[in-house]
Amino acid sequence: MVEIRNLRKNYGKNPALRGITFTIEDNEILGFLGPNGVGKSTTMNIIAGYLPSTSGTVSVNGYDITEHAREAKKCIGYLPEIPPVYPDMRVEEYLTFCAGIKGIRRADTKKEVESAMEKLHITDMRRRLIRNLSKGYKQRVGFAQALLGNPKVLILDEPTVGLDPAQVSEVRSLIRELGQSHSIIFSSHILSEISAVCERVVIITKGEIRAIDTIENLEKSMTASSLLDITIEGDEATIMRVLKDIRGVEEIKNVTRTDNRLSCRLTLTEDKVRNAVMTSLVANNCSIVEMNMAKLDLEQVFLRVTAQSEKRTSLQDLLDETPDMPDNPYDAAE
Amino acid sequence: MFALYKKELQAFFYSPFAYVLTALFMLIFSLGFVTSIADLDTNVLKFSFSEFFYNNFFYFIFIIPLLTMRSFADERRGGTEVLLLSSPLSVTQIVLAKFFAIVTVFLFMIVMSLFFPIYAAATGQVIWSALICAYSGFFLWGIVCITLGMLLSSVTGNAIIAAIIGEIVMEVLLFLDRFASTRLVDVYPHLNSVITWFSMQRRFIFFSQGMFRLEDLVFFLSAAAVVLTLNVVSIEKRRWSHR
């Protein structure tokens, strides 16, 4: 289990992380989402013990990453954004070296290296120089390195970047399999990947956590009553005029026409507007063929969460910003 | 730590790097050797290996920064620094492993250079005790230069720049020696004594004369230890103020 409490990191005067708190449970795959340059890799570097934090603590299986660095780092397998491979080494040689610096006993090294190579399907490449491997293979060699010694915690920074679709699905199923016996934190830009692999996600923007919940809950909470997929029969100009006139219809998107039917997605300010939509359409001789509450998928949740204004809305939010909070405010929300 | 030491050594010996540098080193030595023999006084037929070491310093200092320039700069550039720093190894262990690997290559060069005294012994007579003493001085002097080169490699983060600044630093160290004996410095005895104390070549002279002084041994070893510590500190500092 990994506990991250109130993590802050400043690069010079620029705050990169502004107090991040979350927990990776045992045998859990936690998705880590955020736009580029908001502190994802910084957070992962700190958890892996590569960078020290400005303040806040990270504890891995009960060991503090700064105070008991050796013990903590032994529980971690880390695949950074750029796979940390030496171009002049052969695959097997490189993995043996990694096993050495990770303090794996010599007697176990061969077995560990073999099993890591097998899991990533790079056994055929064992004698190849890493410099001659394709990007996808380099990525897999880097991943194999993280698995050496079977660490309880895996930190994977965009593990599927540069892989072809077949390899991506292989790596995904590997991560899913590993998730049964490891704590995994896994960042990716590909949201479908996160929703395919992870149970819970953390979304961060500008060094702060925006949302932390199971994907299901996030989708539910954001589904907001406010999205309506509707198909209407009638004159197009009339329909558009009527829809635009209704107070509470914020946006009309995805307009498509088939025959004399028009389908679109409406964004409503609140639930009640639904009735207004129906009555106005019917009053103008437009018949409603189909009407559905739209459900947000992770991508839309992500876009919404990251687009939220920075303005704090409630007292709880203000409290969350205060440093040294005794409790994890996000735990309470779960 | 041994794994890292081994990897570093492999990086030197699996690539032409160590061999090319050793060849360069041998070339400098053999040219010096030939000159010494060609210059022999026909009555005495005697020359000093220590003197020969001393004269070769100027060339030799250009080799050390080439040996050390990649130690940390390449790790940073290749993104493999993350691997080392997120492994259970401490920064001190990382620095020491790299240091010992470079010292091993340096020792390899020195051992190769033994060819000349051995060859001389086959055809004439060599005073081995004096020679071993000179070699020890040469070795200690080299160790300090290696630590300086490593420090520069970790500070600059670019192998070429590390090598160039390395050459400059070595040059200044040699210059100190000559500067200490100028008339200007002679006027200020305190300044003179400080500069002389730091001048490594001066200390080497004692070794080359067959004098193994504890003071010099302590100087070289503590200088190396201080620079290695600075190296550890500089890496730690960069982690804290990353970017």
Number of neighbours of residue A190 by Cβ within 10 angstroms: 14
**Structure ipTM over 0.90, yes or no:** no
HSE value, Cβ hemisphere, 13 Å, CA-based, for A152? 16
Contact status of A86 with chain B (Cβ, < 8 Å):
yes
Do residues B73 and B158 make contact, with C-beta atoms less than 8 angstroms apart?
Answer: yes
Q: Where are the domains of chain A?
A: 2-75+152-220, 224-293
Contact status of A161 with chain B (Cβ, < 8 Å):
no
Residue B158, pLDDT above cutoff 70: yes
Q: Indicate the pTM of the whole model.
A: 0.81
| A69/B239 touch (CB, cutoff 8 Å), yes or no | no
The candidate with the shortest Cα–Cα distance to A219, out of A297, A271, A292, is: A297
| A12/B79 touch (CB, cutoff 8 Å), yes or no | no
Q: What is the pLDDT of residue B102?
A: 95
Question: Which one has a higher pLDDT value, B29 or B42?
Answer: B29
Residues of B in contact with A74 (CB under 8 A): 88
The candidate with the shortest Cα–Cα distance to A174, out of A29, A41, A73, A76, is: A29
d(CA B128, CA B112): 16
**CB nearest A86 (choices: B78, B82, B240):** B78
Query: Rounded to an integer, what is the distance from CA B171 to the centroid of its chain?
Result: 13
Number of neighbours of residue A323 by Cβ within 10 angstroms: 10
Do residues A47 and B238 make contact, with C-beta atoms less than 8 angstroms apart?
Answer: no
- The pLDDT tens digits of the residues spanning A233-291 come to 888 888 888 888 888 887 888 888 887 888 888 887 777 788 888 888 888 888 888 88
The CATH T-level fold of domain A224-293 is Alpha-Beta Plaits (3.30.70)
Contact status of B182 with chain A (Cβ, < 8 Å):
no
Q: How far apart are the CA of A165 and the nearest CA of chain B, in angstroms?
A: 26
Mean pLDDT of A118-138: 92
Sign, CA dihedral B124-B128-B134-B139, equals positive
Query: Rounded to an integer, what is the distance from CA A212 to the centroid of its chain?
Result: 10
Q: Where are the domains of chain B?
A: 2-240
d(CA B221, CA B223): 5
Residue A330, pLDDT above cutoff 60: no
Q: Which residues contact A223 (CB under 8 A, 6 or more apart)?
A: A293, A294, A295, A296
- The pLDDT tens digits of the residues spanning A44-93 come to 999 999 988 889 999 999 999 989 999 999 999 999 989 999 998 999 99
Beta bridge pairs of residue A201: A31, A213
d(CA A116, CA A101): 16
DSSP output for B63-130 = HHHHHHTHHHHHHHHHT-HHHHHTSS--HHHHHHHHHHHHHHHHHHHHHHHTHHHHHHHHHS---HHH
Residues 102-131 in A contacting B (C-alpha not used; CB under 8 Å): 102-103
Contact status of A37 with chain B (Cβ, < 8 Å):
no
Which of A88-97, A139-148, B196-205 is predicted least confidently?
Answer: B196-205
Both tokens assigned to B209:
């004369």
Sign, CA dihedral A119-A123-A126-A131, equals negative
| B7/A84 touch (CB, cutoff 8 Å), yes or no | no
Q: What is the pLDDT of residue A112?
A: 93
d(CA A147, CA A155): 10
The CATH T-level fold of domain A2-75+152-220 is Rossmann fold (3.40.50)
